[in-house]
Amino acid sequence: MLLADRTWPELGEYFADESLAFVPLGSTEQHGPHLPEATDAIIAEGFARAAARRTGFLCTPTVDIGVSPHHRQFHGTMWVDAPVFRDYVESFTRNLTSHGIDRVIFVNAHGGNVEHLREVGRRLRDAGDCYAIEWMWDESITDLIEEVFETPGPHGGPKETSLVWHLEPDLVREDRIEDARDGGLVDFDADAGRVHGARTFYDSIDNTENGVLGDQTDASPEVGEELFEAACDHLVELAGWLDDQPFEDLMPKAHV
């Protein structure tokens, strides 16, 4: 069920029986010369809406501008400061609780949002208002990603390219995929950009001139569909698990 498509009486019927909502969050930021700036928002919305269709749970509108100042050197990137993002997400989530929602899945597709969504979830849980957890699609299928890609890359790589190719094929600039690989950083691992154990980079451009990582030529819409279905299965199962939990079991434990 898409919240924005329903009337308030229809939503009242939902809130009378259900208390779970999907909230998709992405970003509007550079994803190299071959992918649109809406990449993360497209992916997050795709997963949240598909899971809502399969489960019948509520899906809110997408938050499509996130914490992205580390991409600011590239044209068109938009962002909000981290404290503003946290307060905004907390505020509209509390709005959902006023209607009877007490458990939320932040369907997230932007790495820069992760720590801030976790902080919002902690605030809401500590206050006893809501149990909100962050779900990142690629963290649910790490084994599959390693199986299908030799160099998946954490940003603008073949995994995101494949997903957008599956979800919005007209937005992938197929003629720029080799440019993305050749102008970016193909091999990116835990040691990249580190000196004596310290992470020395702050911005994406510090590591990659065209903004992307990984080998985009490994991408395909067929692989994108495989990744999407596998991760969506996990999201659906997560929603089912969360819906089954007694609310008091989700709240902080008492002091010892």
Token pair, residue 94, equals 């509390």
The boundaries of the domain holding residue 142 are 7-250
Q: pLDDT per residue over 199-229, tens digit each?
A: 888 899 999 999 999 999 999 999 999 999 9
Helices (H), 101-151: 114-126, 142-148
pLDDT computed for residue 201 by the predictor? 85
Question: How many structural domains comprise the chain?
Answer: 1
| 255 inside domain | no
pLDDT, residue 191, reads: 75
Residue position matching structure tokens 């969360």:
242
**Whether the model pTM is above 0.85:** yes
Within a domain: 32: yes
pLDDT for residue 193 is more than 90: no
Amino acid at the residue 84:
V
Indicate the average pLDDT of the chain. 96
Question: What pLDDT, in 10s, does the model give residues 89-119?
Answer: 999 999 999 999 999 999 999 999 999 999 9
For residue 52, is pLDDT > 90? Answer: yes
How far apart, in whole angstroms, are the C-alpha atoms of residue 131 and residue 23? 13
With beta carbons less than 8 A apart as the criterion, state whether 79 and 41 touch: no
Domain containing residue 238: CATH number: 3.40.50.10310
Cβ–Cβ under 8 Å, residues 21 and 96: yes
Residue 144's alpha-carbon distances to 138, 152, 190, 230, in angstroms, are 9, 11, 19, 9
- Say what the alpha-carbon torsion angle 78, 81, 84, 85 is, to the nearest 10 degrees: 60
Largest CA distance in the chain: 61
**1 found inside a domain:** no
What's the whole-number mean pLDDT along residues 222-246? 98
The answer to whether residue 48 is domain-embedded is yes
103/97 Cα distance (integer angstroms)? 8
d(CA 6, CA 2): 7
> Which distant-in-sequence residues (6+ apart) come within 8 Å of 43 by Cβ?
26, 109, 137, 160, 163, 164, 167
In whole angstroms, what is the distance from residue 180 CA to residue 155 CA? 11
Q: Report yes or no on 230 lying in a domain.
A: yes
**C-beta of residue 89 within 8 angstroms of C-beta of residue 126:** no
Is 2 a domain residue? Answer: no
Assess if residue 196 is contained within a domain. Answer: yes
Does residue 42 belong to any structural domain of this protein? Answer: yes
Specify whether the CB–CB gap between 21 and 51 falls below 8 A. Answer: no
199: exposed, middle or buried (C-beta count within 10 Å: 0-12, 13-18, 19+)?
exposed
